[in-house]
Structure 1
């Protein structure tokens, strides 16, 4: 077997439908010998360290505002204003310019996972490792599809998932000349759920040592909780949150300082973490403010001198008068770490309890929601000024829970983007030099597929 042929295959952007990249017959020659060979492919090409799309969606949300660009970041302003205004040409050469993070990169990650899944059964090695790696690849593939469907499909709880268009499902690494069509939102979610459930079972029953830079059974359960939350299956969302928190319930106490994504000294609440490279760009020489920074709409939901998240999650640049440019939750100065934390599971469970309280009126669910919210806040607020909340009105409690979710999860793995869509939030954006307010009802909003992708694959129906 020549392992380089695996990497040749990895370079193929198979979803374009162009068959001349690689002859299909060469598939028979791609034969790694050991499970460890496939593990390296998953680590190198499945996880994609150098390409990360988690931060890309912030600019579409109410977490961001436009400010006058300094001359040094004028190009960045011209490129990103198309996204800020939700323009249909945001990813096209005659608009904001092609960006590969929302479509191409996730599908390349899926291709890496498919390669592993295709060849695992032919590999020599320990069965426990084989099945654990199978579970890891299934969950990681689901993670990519979960983001893709929330980029390009209408939110599951909005519209009609049985007919709304999602993204194409490609479940093997075979290269053909086929033009792939878009599966429905329901079909994609069903596949995500199926693979997560199987992956969770495999990872739970075939355990071997992994660090938190790789997906394990807790990460699989945490993703299931998020998926079911978006599907409004409250019982399953809280059940999978429970299953994580019963094993790992730690929260970092911000009274002691530190970062929630500190991977070196205080990984108290990290379940899974990866580096990211796309965010509110800041030039390091000199340190300049970017043209799109955090909005007062976000900043003002934190209580001054009480909520440590305001000073530890959000950061100033060197010119304080320009406000907060970004979000920092990692161990480096610019927080280039994202993933899944126990804090999200408390919030998933709390929201599920509140929804059940609103539906049935059982006070036990209200009390359980408050217990989760108060526990999280105890680790986030100044202890000398901390006071528990006790809300009896269901709608007030839900509003408080969703605001707490925004405070805690801003800037991470597209949480706010997904939340404004599933909650049907109306987002208003105003360019710094314009008097025209641009509004977008996120309830049915989905990103446009880049034109370079639809030109290469004419079977893909564009979002309107």
Structure 2
């Protein structure tokens, strides 16, 4: 029996009990789920809805290993030495023989829950054709399965390259709740096609907007598809879905509106704000991502101009002269791992410019930046290269600490850029060169040993 699914199945009753006890208190009771309901089976529609509304499992398990490996932050020497071996290895891109419980396993927990719902819904084809609640819960499960597979492939596989997609390893695609089906690693092509297929299918079942951003919607599926195709450097499809997403809503936070933001708060940006298309959080497994531990890269911080309001709302000064990040869309120290309107604006701008629609791309960028700068004057560039560089610079500054930088570096290097990541540890300088095999992080050693799935190999 497959180890990953066997573990989840064996612990399912315990997880269900935890789910029911935490649903009524998590996220300000956003769903008002009663904690005294019993979930003895998953046969009823109500139990399926409860399972998908379990935010602690479904929304808070986005992989954090990629962000911990990226270069938006750094650790002081004393802080680095104080971390455990796993954290130090991830920070230094070392081969990391870590064991369960970890981000890999946590990422498959919502996938398993989603598969339970999908398998049950498939037995109710008549209801899927006619009843809105059945349709919505089915679409919700499809979205969650796709979103988590996407987060996993961004972390544990090489960047998508069309000519190598049939040979490069993707991730384990779990498409059934049956634990007896052995896990195997799909190719990158199979992985990306499955993710895209689930998201596209979910569009037929989800409402255009959900009652709460923790619940998936067509708006969220369009946004996830735009992100997915951008990661593949497929700008035609990235723009197609970015446009579809923004047709539903283009509401941006205006950083000049002090009524919408609280500069005096520890975390100034409110949770569940109008920019939030889909709300998720990165796992808390990496203490180096805590704003009390990780420090923002100095050159990145210096790239924010004085009239850039993100410099005010995203960062706080420390006593040591460095800065920490406080601009989480979670209104807490937890890192945001969802989708926002600002991300989709930037996907659209970049895709337009890559498709030689430079003027259109600049219109999207200017509209976005007018909500981030004081006394903003529209930008205009004479060359495609200048426009693209500006979009990429603004993307880096807007999406800092969102769990996207690792994917961004990989896909840009796959397209021919030469981005090298660097760390300084003591007197040593470490570097991760473009397209280095270590950009595909290792799978947990115990899972590899027990399931015989292929491990990533390193030069």
TM range (shorter): 0.7 to 0.9
1:455 equivalenced with 2:453 (yes/no): no
Shift of 1:268: 2.3
Cα distance per residue 1:125-150 (max 9 Å; x no partner): 87211011111110110001111111
Cα distance per residue 1:3-43 (max 9 Å; x no partner): xxxxxxxxx98437789959xxxxxxx85342111111122
- Aligned residue in 2 for 1:5: none
- Aligned residue in 1 for 2:216: 215
1:39 equivalenced with 2:49 (yes/no): yes
- Aligned residue in 2 for 1:297: 299
Change in Cα spacing, 1:415 to 1:159, as seen in structure 2 (3 Å) is farther
Tell me, in whole angstroms, the C-alpha distance in 2 between the residues paired with 1:454 and 1:427. Answer: 29
Aligned counterpart in structure 1 of residue 62 of structure 2, from 43, 48, 53? 53
- Aligned residue in 1 for 2:88: 81
Cα distance per residue 1:147-200 (max 9 Å; x no partner): 111111111137611110111212110121x54221100001111111111101
Aligned counterpart in structure 2 of residue 392 of structure 1, from 367, 371, 382? 382
Tell me, in whole angstroms, the C-alpha distance in 2 between the residues paired with 1:14 and 1:219. Answer: 32
1:100 equivalenced with 2:102 (yes/no): yes
Give the stretch that moved more between structures: 57-66 or 366-375.
57-66
Cα distance per residue 1:345-381 (max 9 Å; x no partner): 1111111111111xxxxxxx11101111111111001
Tell me, in whole angstroms, the C-alpha distance in 2 between the residues paired with 1:339 and 1:57. Answer: 15
Aligned residues: 417
Aligned counterpart in structure 1 of residue 369 of structure 2, from 356, 377, 380? 377
- Aligned residue in 2 for 1:142: 146
1:13 touches 1:104 (CA, 8 Å); kept in 2?
no
1:160 equivalenced with 2:164 (yes/no): yes
Unaligned runs of 5+ in 1: 1-11, 23-29, 358-364
Q: Secondary structure at the match of 2:74?
A: strand
Q: Secondary structure at the match of 2:54?
A: helix
Change in Cα spacing, 1:122 to 1:37, as seen in structure 2 (3 Å) is farther
Change in Cα spacing, 1:92 to 1:77, as seen in structure 2 (3 Å) is closer
Tell me, in whole angstroms, the C-alpha distance in 2 between the residues paired with 1:392 and 1:347. Answer: 19
Shift of 1:261: 5.3
> Which 4+ residue blocks in structure 1 deviate beyond 4 angstroms?
16-22, 121-126
- TM-score w.r.t. the length of structure 1 is 0.81
Shift of 1:48: 3.4
Tell me, in whole angstroms, the C-alpha distance in 1 between the residues paired with 2:269 and 2:218. Answer: 19
Shift of 1:428: 3.3
Cα distance per residue 1:206-237 (max 9 Å; x no partner): x6852111111100011011111122322221
Tell me, in whole angstroms, the C-alpha distance in 2 between the residues paired with 1:409 and 1:153. Answer: 21
Query: How big is the alpha-carbon RMSD for the aligned residues of Structure 1 and Structure 2?
Result: 3.1
Change in Cα spacing, 1:457 to 1:382, as seen in structure 2 (3 Å) is same
Tell me, in whole angstroms, the C-alpha distance in 1 between the residues paired with 2:8 and 2:308. Answer: 55
Change in Cα spacing, 1:54 to 1:248, as seen in structure 2 (3 Å) is farther
Q: How does 1:213-362 map to 2 (within 5 A)?
A: 213-257=214-258, 258=261, 262-263=270-271, 267-278=273-284, 281=287, 289-290=292-293, 292-303=294-305, 305-317=306-318, 319-321=319-321, 323-330=322-329, 332-334=331-333, 336-357=335-356
Tell me, in whole angstroms, the C-alpha distance in 1 between the residues paired with 2:288 and 2:449. Answer: 33
Tell me, in whole angstroms, the C-alpha distance in 2 between the residues paired with 1:450 and 1:246. Answer: 41
Tell me, in whole angstroms, the C-alpha distance in 2 between the residues paired with 1:56 and 1:15. Answer: 19
Tell me, in whole angstroms, the C-alpha distance in 2 between the residues paired with 1:368 and 1:20. Answer: 50
1:228 touches 1:234 (CA, 8 Å); kept in 2?
yes
Change in Cα spacing, 1:121 to 1:54, as seen in structure 2 (3 Å) is closer
Tell me, in whole angstroms, the C-alpha distance in 2 between the residues paired with 1:289 and 1:208. Answer: 36
Aligned counterpart in structure 1 of residue 77 of structure 2, from 68, 71, 78? 68
Shift of 1:336: 4.8
Q: Secondary structure at the match of 1:441?
A: coil
2:255 touches 2:371 (CA, 8 Å); kept in 1?
yes
Shift of 1:122: 4.6
1:132 touches 1:203 (CA, 8 Å); kept in 2?
yes
Tell me, in whole angstroms, the C-alpha distance in 2 between the residues paired with 1:263 and 1:45. Answer: 14
